[in-house]
Amino acid sequence: MSTIKKHKGLDNTLKVMKEGYLYTTNQRRRLGAENIFETRVLGGKRALVISGKKAAELFYDNDKTERSGTLPKRLVNTLFGKGAIHTTTGKKHIDRKALFMSLMTEGNLKHLRELTRNHWYMNTHRMEQMDQINIYRESIILLTKVGTKWAGVQAPEEKIEEIATDMDIMIDSFRGLGTAFKGYKESVAARRRVEDWLEDQIIQTRKGKIFPPEGTALYEFAHWEDYKGNPMDSRLCAIDLMNTFRPLIAINRFVSFGLLAMHEHPISKEKINNDPDYAYMFSQEVRRFYPFVPFLPGKAKTDIQFEGHDIEKDTMLVLDIYGTMHRDDVFENADEFHPERFLDWDGSPFDLIPQGGGDYYTNHRCAGEWMTIIIMEETMKYFAGKITYDVPEQDLTVDLNSIPGYIKSGFIIENVAEKV
């Protein structure tokens, strides 16, 4: 049995932060390690980085990999919220995940599609009046309107900007990878403000003082009972209610990346306009190609084996998300942006994993993946077909060494006009 190759060093966290999305791939190459290598992170903890399709299969095997208790505390306090679904396991997880997934009805998804389409249409006049539009910022505001409406949450127009900014601060907090980072306090404060606002609406709904429509997230979460017949504590309920639309707002990052891809591959605009399936393929490729979630943590649930290596119970496992989607043995010519690769994709739950993999109901795979694709499809169709715009000189660099990934300029457009 061969030994696992090691990235030496007492704590490589700084190196991970310095190389960002490229750390895992660079390190595998440097060590000549195919699918697994050892490193030390987050205060010197031993971790095994696993990469590729087989690694994703291991990571999403609930008998072999445990997820609860593995997310860095700082990230839970900022990004997900204390007690959030991401931190649960076993029966509790499956019970609560069913609540999230019960929102993904055909009707609710159709409503989301219409909300997205209508909000972009309604926004055209505003963008026509503006000298320049920063798409990162514009789409976060628009998606905050879409997300709160879809969730049935009351968000007056004058509060939208504030909610969008607070959400962005929380989302940006994974920049610290769970270590001390500048902005931690600001992020915790942003979370507290949004939790307060949502908890109030949960309480009001339960008291019958406000009436969100049945089927919306606010209604369903406020009235939900767990498998023991207990309602959720109102704070926890606010936290998980936020988990139905805070990540929706994060789609602004994919929107900016999508417009960058359209700018760099102008032919894709025509294809989106002429082929009804192209917006889907294009959106999938944007989620695969551009940097968002770098990796995910877990630990060995029991003594396990991976590719002939023994892994002891409780060993930290890190699934290489970005690197897996950029491997040529997972996606052919992985470093090329090529939406057509999704023409005959087999839909494997272990290769296209920008929002996690495995099963929606029993694993921690993102509950909002279908929502993300729908929002991307409608947004890309709008920018390709409904308006014209110019892309001025700007810094379009996407620095893969920096987590989270973003376009330096945010992606700026100008001279917006409705297509006639």
Q: Are 325 and 356 in contact (CB under 8 A)?
A: no
> According to the binding rule CB under 6 A, does residue 258 interact with ligand HEM?
no
- Nearest Cα residue to 204 out of 241, 230, 162, 159: 241
Q: Check residue 150 for interaction with ligand HEM (CB under 6 A).
A: no
Per-residue x/- track, 80-99, ligand HEM (CB under 6 A):
-----xx----------x--
With CB under 6 A as the contact rule, the residue among 120, 150, 282, 292 that binds ligand HEM is: 292
- Nearest residue to ligand HEM on Cβ basis: 368
Q: Which two tokens stand for residue 395?
A: 């810094």
Cβ 85 to ligand HEM, closest distance in Å? 4
**In the complex, least distance from residue 253 CB atom to ligand HEM, rounded to whole angstroms:** 6
Considering only residues 304, 367, 384, 413, which one is a binding residue for ligand HEM as defined by CB under 6 A?
A: 367
**229, burial (CB in 10 Å: exposed 0-12, middle 13-18, buried 19+):** exposed
User: Can you say how many angstroms the Cα of residue 184 is from the centroid of all Cα atoms in its chain?
Assistant: 20
Which residues are 305's β-sheet partners? Answer: 310
> Could you tell me the smallest distance in angstroms from the CB atom of residue 328 to ligand HEM?
23
CA distance 294 to 126: 35
Binding footprint of ligand HEM, residue count (CB under 6 A) = 24
Work out whether 331 is an interface residue with ligand HEM (CB under 6 A).
no
Distance CA 350, CA 156 (A): 41
Q: Does residue 352 interact with ligand HEM by CB under 6 A?
A: no
Binding characters for ligand HEM, 96-115, by CB under 6 A (x = yes):
-x--x---------------
Would you give the distance in Å from CA 183 to the centre of its chain? 20
Candidates 32-40, 189-197, 239-247, 277-285; binding stretch for ligand HEM (CB under 6 A): 239-247
Helix (H, G, I), strand (E, B) or coil at 253: helix
The helix (run of H) or strand (run of E) holding residue 381 is helix 369-385
The DSSP secondary structure of 17-51, one letter per residue, reads HHHGGGHHHHHHHHHT-SSEEEEEETTTEEEEEE-
Instruction: Pick from 124, 154, 165, 355 the residue near ligand HEM by CB under 6 A.
Output: 355
Among 20, 354, 405, 410, binds ligand HEM (CB under 6 A): 354
In the complex, the residues that contact ligand HEM under the rule CB under 6 A are 85-86, 97, 100, 243-244, 247-248, 250-251, 254, 292-293, 296, 354-356, 364-368, 371-372
